[in-house]
A and B are shown apart, each in its own frame.
Chain A
Amino acid sequence: MDPLNDSQGRAAATSSEPAPASGANDILLGLLFAAIGAIALYAGRNYVFGTTQRMGPGFLPRIVSGALVLIGIALMLRGMLARGWASPAIAWRPIILISLAVIVFSSTIDRLGLFVASLLTVGIGACAGQEIRWKELPLIALGLAAFCTVLFGYVLKISMPVWPQ
């Protein structure tokens, strides 16, 4: 893959991977678009469509989700016409652990406060790294939690629960 062939500027970060065949990517992306579009069509099936003069709340949802389904199908067709199939390599561990860390923050912050939530988030998140240093990890977690608690809770005095309620 060309190091610049990436929309988000993570050129150097992904350049080490082999180029995936675009057929697979088109099919998978098309599937994703079509599925999301179809779900939206189903979820919005009772929204009032209205007329062109007085568009109802369902007017654009139906057009936009319908278009998404069509684009998804077009992508799938294009992918099937292309040669080769190589599923994109996805490393699941960092993805799962980072999501989990964010979800833990979201589910603990209101009740347990900033300090505990930070401790848990950093503790879980840090395990997503390629090498985990077990001696370093608690220090990083404690240090960051303490730093953020002081900065946001006491220096900036942002209104958020700091300690367990």
Chain B
Amino acid sequence: MSEIVQSLALGFSVAASLSNLWYCFLGALIGTLIGVLPGIGPIATMAMLLPLTYYLQPTEALIMLAGIYYGAQYGGSTTAVLMRLPGESSSVVTCLDGYAMARKGRAGTALATAALASFFAGTVVTLLIAIASPALTELAQKFGPAEYFSLMALGLVAAVVFAQGSPLRAVGAIFLGLLLGLIGADVNTGFDRFTLDRPELRDGIGVVVVSMGLFGIAEIMLNLSSGPEGQGERTRLSRLWLTKEDFRAAWPATLRGTGLGALLGILPGGGAMLGSFASYAVEKRISDTPERFGEGAIEGVAGPEAANNAGAQSSFIPMLALGIPGNSVMAMMAGAMLIHGIAPSPNLASTQPQLFWGLIASMWFGNLMLLVINLPLIGLWVKLLAAPYRMLFPAILLFCCIGIYTVNNSAFEVGLVALFGLLGVVLAKLECPLAPLVLAFILGPMMEENLRRAMLLSRGDPSIFLSRPISLGLLIACALVVALLLMPNFRRAREAATEA
């Protein structure tokens, strides 16, 4: 226990230094500023702003990026409430009751609820990470290639369950993602696979390129092709504070949302989105008055908002403890770490305690900043939202191009982004979920490496995955999830939950 207190104290002393606080603030501010623009999610925001962090110290850079992430996340909720435009998938459910509240003249209350619920969830999960990290790092020591492989397999299976729409399409998306991940030189033999003799492809396609194309560029194309009514109706702001009844209704929902979000965020393949959908479904189910949902129920804002923030933050756990980026945002963080010469690994806490604990403590500061920045500045965000999309999208487009170019100074990668933009539009039009694809793309190369290593250790005997207890447990969990997916009752519940 005292160890945790000591580590946290170290973290807070690092995070509370003037320069780190400044970068945390700057990150949260710019992140919100960009994230509040319609059609730009956290991934696009981070890719766009990545160049701003190149010249900082590693700790400062990661703290600023984390701040950008939280800001973008919160910015998405702001547009969800005010314009019924979710900036990213995790704030989709916030649209339902947040926008309904806004139409009833309670936009301010909805935004304050979102900010407070997020802050509460952020505080709890920061503590949780601090407490769980040492234990998880210890667990990570027991992880061999078989365990890593099984864990990532579980992540992919979970991604199918939580994707919207037909599971078969999600499975297809996963295999397409795995295939894209195979592009590049084979790690073990150096043999070029699917590189078309382009030297630029030997290192594989960057995560930033794939996610920027599928999410950033494709988003612009889809927004432009969907007609002017795609721009939601704007609402006026009201008073910001919550009444006593609001508090009473929002409080338990926030607690439950935090728990759900934190749990689901730890799963590789998890992240912010799962928690928010699950939380909304739970709140609606246990409510005495489920008919209020969709009509401006404050629980429908507090729960999912707490859950998406908790999930956003607990998705740092697999990366910090096991070195596995569980979603594309974390892959981006891992990429930023590599740019600064730090490899994400289970040893991070012991080799770079300043950075590790500083980053964890800065999560709490980041959430505090969001509260401080957003409540007074909501009026400003509303004004920014008033800018017409025809003036915004050229800027977004240009920032995307510059953002990609600056990652490796590679014009070739910018061209690839156009290709992935096209792929993203086609897949979205055919109702194929993109999140499982990106996750499989990220996890694929790691899965291959661990699979080959495990099979080498076992001399080609696949029973290694069943004879090691942790791996067996993870595979049983996979099998249970698949079995659930085949049960008609669960399928109906899943459809109800993912379509809220």
**A, B from the same assembly:** yes
Residues of A within 8 A of B (CB): 2-14, 16-17, 20, 22, 25-26, 28-30, 32-33, 36-37, 40, 43-44, 47-48, 51-61, 64-65, 67-68, 71-72, 74-75, 78, 88, 90-91, 93-95, 98-99, 101-103, 105-107, 109-110, 114, 117-118, 121-122, 125-126, 128-131, 133, 136, 140-141, 144, 148, 152, 156-160
B288 in the interface (beta carbon within 8 A): no
B269 CB to closest chain A CB (Å) equals 13
Contact indicator A156/B55 (Cβ below 8 Å): yes
A68 CB to closest chain B CB (Å) equals 4
B484 in the interface (beta carbon within 8 A): no
Contact indicator A126/B394 (Cβ below 8 Å): yes
Contacts of A12 in B (CB 8 A): 83-86, 95, 230, 232
A79 CB to closest chain B CB (Å) equals 10
CB nearest neighbor in A for B90: A9
Contacts of B309 in A (CB 8 A): none
Give Cα A57 to B460, complex, Å: 16
Contacts of A159 in B (CB 8 A): 409
| Contacting residue for B168 out of A71, A122, A128, CB 8 A | A71
Contacts of B188 in A (CB 8 A): 55, 57
CB-defined A-B contacts under 8 Å, sample of 14: A4-B96, A4-B499, A7-B164, A8-B88, A11-B95, A22-B166, A25-B431, A26-B166, A37-B179, A55-B452, A98-B224, A101-B397, A102-B401, A106-B415
Looking at chain B, what size class is its interface with the partner chain?
Answer: 35 or more
CB nearest neighbor in B for A74: B168
Contacts of A75 in B (CB 8 A): 168-169, 172
Give Cα A14 to B92, complex, Å: 13
Contact indicator A4/B397 (Cβ below 8 Å): no
A23 CB to closest chain B CB (Å) equals 12
Give Cα A48 to B181, complex, Å: 18
B227 in the interface (beta carbon within 8 A): yes
Given A99-B418, A103-B418, A128-B224, are A8 and B89 neighbors across the interface (CB < 8 Å)? yes
A158 CB to closest chain B CB (Å) equals 5
Contacts of B224 in A (CB 8 A): 91, 94, 98, 128-130
B266 CB to closest chain A CB (Å) equals 21
Given A57-B186, A101-B397, are A65 and B179 neighbors across the interface (CB < 8 Å)? yes
Contact indicator B398/A125 (Cβ below 8 Å): yes
| Contacting residue for B51 out of A3, A109, A158, CB 8 A | A158
Report B457-480 CB contacts with A as 1/0, cut-off 8 Å: 001111000000000000000000
List 4 tightest A-B contacts by C-beta distance, closest first. A53-B460, A91-B225, A94-B224, A106-B414
Contact indicator A64/B215 (Cβ below 8 Å): no
Given A14-B226, A152-B51, are A102 and B397 neighbors across the interface (CB < 8 Å)? yes
B395 in the interface (beta carbon within 8 A): yes
B434 in the interface (beta carbon within 8 A): yes
Contact indicator A122/B226 (Cβ below 8 Å): no
B345 in the interface (beta carbon within 8 A): no
Give Cα A91 to B83, complex, Å: 24
B200 CB to closest chain A CB (Å) equals 11
B358 CB to closest chain A CB (Å) equals 24
Secondary structure class of chain B's binding surface, majority of residues: helix
B415 CB to closest chain A CB (Å) equals 4
Give Cα A65 to B183, complex, Å: 12
Contacts of A25 in B (CB 8 A): 429-431
Given A8-B434, A98-B224, are A61 and B179 neighbors across the interface (CB < 8 Å)? yes
Given A10-B219, A16-B226, A67-B175, are A148 and B39 neighbors across the interface (CB < 8 Å)? no
Contact indicator A6/B460 (Cβ below 8 Å): no
Contact indicator B172/A71 (Cβ below 8 Å): yes
CB nearest neighbor in A for B229: A16
A11 CB to closest chain B CB (Å) equals 6
B490 in the interface (beta carbon within 8 A): no
B176 in the interface (beta carbon within 8 A): yes
Q: Which of A58, A90, A95, A158 has the most CB of B within 10 A?
A: A95
Give Cα A131 to B227, complex, Å: 10
| Contacting residue for A7 out of B55, B182, B435, CB 8 A | B435
B456 in the interface (beta carbon within 8 A): yes
B303 in the interface (beta carbon within 8 A): no
A85 CB to closest chain B CB (Å) equals 14
B14-22, B109-117, B234-242, B419-427: which lies at the interface: B419-427
Give Cα A137 to B494, complex, Å: 46
Contacts of A144 in B (CB 8 A): 394-395, 398
Contacts of B178 in A (CB 8 A): 60, 64
| Contacting residue for A64 out of B85, B169, B182, B426, CB 8 A | B182
Contacts of A105 in B (CB 8 A): 398, 401, 405, 414
Give Cα A90 to B222, complex, Å: 9
Q: A11-B95, A36-B176, A109-B401 are in contact. List 20 more A-B contacts (CB 8 A).
A: A5-B431, A7-B164, A8-B428, A9-B92, A26-B169, A32-B430, A33-B172, A55-B451, A55-B452, A57-B193, A60-B178, A94-B225, A99-B217, A102-B401, A106-B411, A140-B391, A141-B394, A157-B55, A158-B51, A160-B405
Contacts of A109 in B (CB 8 A): 401, 405, 411, 414
B210 in the interface (beta carbon within 8 A): no
Contact indicator B222/A10 (Cβ below 8 Å): yes
Contact indicator A14/B230 (Cβ below 8 Å): yes
Contact indicator B430/A29 (Cβ below 8 Å): yes
Given A91-B224, A106-B411, A158-B406, are A8 and B430 neighbors across the interface (CB < 8 Å)? no
Q: Which of A13, A17, A37 has the most CB of B within 10 A?
A: A13
